[in-house]
Amino acid sequence: MAGPEPHISIVIPTFNRARFIQDAVDSCYIGNVASSMVEVIVVDDGSTDDTSAILEELGDRCRHVRLGANQGRNRARNIGKSMATGRYVKFLDSDDVLLQGSLAVELAAADDSGADLVVSGWVSVTLAAQSVARSTRPFAAPLMDPVIDSLLPDVRCQRRRLSMHESWSLTQPG
């Protein structure tokens, strides 16, 4: 990726997600932050469907690497992380999309507070197979002390505090 160093690298591991991968990549850019601040890295974990062809069609919207055989989601994430050049790294599943504006909120939270880790909630959307009907279910950001403790067992934190709480609402297209 030419140009200035990205502010955030978004790593998307994928396996046989041809149906969803373009939406996942597109959501990293639409209504969030300037595209020059975003680097999208997709690690195709040996897909046997059309995922690889779709990634080729996306051109320079994402960097992608194809693993020869399925090695698992965590291996794909680690490979993507090793390729990342952004100040921050975000992981996005290949069947998920970012809400419009959510990336900007997370980056502002990290920049304004000097945080090393930003965690947000999510919304689960279920699409009906034969119609456009959908249902949504919001989830709050998880409590992070147990996660931090399990990821960083040798780090002793003197003080933990909530640096910022920001929320945004979902709007239905009208």
Q: Can you list the domains of the chain with their CATH numbers?
A: 8-113 (3.90.550.10)
pLDDT of residue 44: 97
pLDDT of residue 170: 43
DSSP structure class, residue 46: S
pLDDT of residue 155: 44
Q: How far apart (Å, rounded) are the C-alpha atoms in residues 121 and 135?
A: 17
Single-letter amino acid, residue 85: T
Q: What is the pTM of this model?
A: 0.75
- Please name the residue that has the structure tokens 């890295």: 41
pLDDT of residue 17: 94
Contacts of 42 (CB under 8 A, 6+ apart): 12, 13, 14, 21, 25, 55, 62, 63, 64, 65, 80, 94
Pairing mode, if any, of strands 134-139 and 122-127?
A: antiparallel
CA 11 to chain centre: 6
Q: How far apart (Å, rounded) are the C-alpha atoms in residues 99 and 122?
A: 9
List, for the chain, all residue ranges whose pLDDT scores fall below the cut of 70: 1-4, 31-32, 121, 123-174
Percent of residues, the chain, with pLDDT higher than 70: 66
Alpha-carbon distance values, 110 to 62, 98, 100 (Å): 23, 17, 18
Partners of 10 in the β-ladder: 40, 90
